[in-house]
Amino acid sequence: MQIIQQFLSDLVVTVIGSLIHNWLPLSLAVVISAVMRVYVNGEKLKAMLLRRPHVSILGAVALGALTPLCACGTTAVVIGMLTTTLPWGPIMAFLTSSPLMSPEGFVLDAGILGLAFAVALTVSSILIGLGSGYATSMIERRTSFLSNQTRFRERAVAVAGAAAGATSVAAACSCSAPVPVVVVAPRKPTRGIRWRELGEAALNIGLKQIILFFALFVGVGFVIDRFVPSSWIVALFSARTIFAVPLAALVGLPLYVTGEAAVPLIQTLLKAGAGGGAMLAFMITGPATSAWVIAGVSTFMKRRVVTLYVAFILVGGIACGYLFDLFQALTR
C-alpha cells in the first residue's frame, strides 16, 4: 500500500512539475490557439475553398499546414469540399497536411522538443501534403481508381447534409472541431478585443484539451520512465535501429494522439534514447490515422480513398522519419 501511495505521489509531483517547468510554451500555445479559434472563421475558410473549385494543391497544403484544425476540424472542411466538383488532388493535400501541424503545435514543439523537431514536423506536413496531392491528382487523371469514391449520392449536396456529416465525424473523434465565429469589425480599436470569447476559448481549448491531455501524457511518460528499461527503448526506437522508424509509425497508426498532448511522451522517449526520426514518424501517423479518425472519414469517403489516405500518411511518415535521422547524423 505504501508503495502505491509513493508511486501516486511521485506521479502527481512529476505532472505538476512538468506543467510548471513548461508553463511558457503551454501558455503561448493556449493563447495562440484561442486567438485563432475566435478570429479565424472556420466557415469562411471553408467557403473560400468552395468558391475556388480550381484551388491549387499548393494553396490547399498552405491552408492545411497553417490553420489550427485537428483531424476532426479538417474533415468538416473536407466534407464541404466534397459537395463541390473539386478534384481529389487538393482534397487529399488538405486532408493529409492539416492534422499534422498548427501554429500552437509549432510553439509547443519548439519550446519543449526543440526548434529542429518543430521545423522537421512542419516541413514533413508540407511535403506529405504536396506529395499526396500531386500523386492523387495524377491517379485521378490517368485512372478510374478514384471514380465514385464519395459516399454522397451527388457531389452537389445540401449544406445541411454537409453539416450533419461534420457533426457525425466530430462525434467519432476525441477532439473538438473549431467553432466558427462571425467577425464584426469594431468601430474603435479598443473594442476589438473580444475578451469574453477569448477567455471561453482559452478555457475550453487550454484547460480541457491542451493542458488536460498534456498532463495525461506526462503521466504516461512517467510510467514508461519508471517501468520500461531504457535499454528496451533504445533497442526498439534508437536511430541506430534500422526498423525503428517504421515500427514507431505503425505504433502510432491506430492510436489517437494529438500533436500538442503527445509532446511530453515524446520528450520522455527521446531522453530515454529514442531516435528523433522514429518520434517524428510517430507524431505524423498518430494525429492523422487513429481508429476514430478513420471511422470518421469512412462515413463520407469510400474504401479506396481511405486506403490511399492511410498509405500516404504511413509512407510519408516513414520517409520523413528516415530523412530527419539522416539530417541529424549529417549535422552532428
Handedness of CA 18, 251, 63, 326 (dihedral sign): positive
Based on the structure, what is the number of domains in the chain? 1
Could you tell me the residue range of the domain that residue 275 belongs to? 2-331
pLDDT above 50 for 154: no
Rounded to an integer, what distance in angstroms lies between the CA atom of residue 202 and that of residue 57? Answer: 32
For 319-328, what is each residue's pLDDT tens digit?
Answer: 999 999 999 9
Q: What are phi and psi of 155, to 5 degrees?
A: -70, -25
**172-223 per-position pLDDT tens digit:** 444 544 434 333 344 444 456 777 887 887 777 666 666 776 677 667 667 7
In this prediction, residue 324 carries a pLDDT of 95
Query: By mean pLDDT, which of 109-118, 147-156, 190-199, 270-279 is the weakest?
Result: 147-156
In terms of C-beta density within 10 A (0-12 exposed, 13-18 middle, 19 or more buried), how is residue 295 classed?
middle
Q: How confident is the model at residue 251 (pLDDT cuts 50, 70, 90)?
A: confident
**Number of Cβ within a 10 Å radius of residue 270:** 18
Per-residue pLDDT tens digits for 162-176: 444 444 444 444 454
The CA distances from residue 328 to 105, 211, 297, in Å, are: 21, 30, 35
CB-hemisphere CA count at 13 Å for 142? Answer: 6
Q: How many residues does the chain have?
A: 332
Lowest mean pLDDT among 137-141, 226-230, 261-265, 276-280: 226-230
Instruction: Give the integer Cα–Cα distance in Å for 309 and 330.
Output: 31
Higher pLDDT, 230 or 96: 96
Is the model more confident about 5 or about 159?
Answer: 5
Three-class SS of the chain? CHHHHHHHHHHHHHHHHHHHHCHHHHHHHHHHHHHHHHHCCHHHHHHHHHHCCCCCHHHHHHHHHHCCCCHHHHHHHHHHHHCCCCCHHHHHHHHHHHHHCCHHHHHHHHHHCCHHHHHHHHHHHHHHHHHHHHHHHHHHHHCCCCCCCECCCCCCCCHHHHHHHHHHHHHHCCCCCCCCCCCCCCCCHHHCCCHHHHHHHHHHHHHHHHHHHHHHHHHHHHHHHHHCCHHHHHHHHCCCCCCHHHHHHHHHCCCCCCCCCCHHHHHHHHHHCCCHHHHHHHHHHHHHCCHHHHHHHCCCECHHHHHHHHHHHHHHHHHHHHHHHHHHHHHC
Alpha-carbon dihedral sign for residues 183, 187, 189, 190: negative
Q: Whole-number mean pLDDT of the chain?
A: 74
Residue 21, amino acid: H
Read off the pLDDT of residues 302-315 as tens digits, 9 standing for 90 and up.
889 889 999 999 99
The residue-averaged pLDDT of 280-302 equals 79
Q: How far apart are CA 70 and CA 73, in angstroms?
A: 5
Give the residue-averaged pLDDT of 272-296: 83
Structure confidence by residue, pLDDT tens digits, 66-123: 765 555 556 656 666 665 556 788 888 888 888 787 777 788 888 888 999 999 999 9
Residue 25, pLDDT score: 62
Of 167-176, 184-193, 262-271, 284-293, which has the strongest mean pLDDT? 262-271
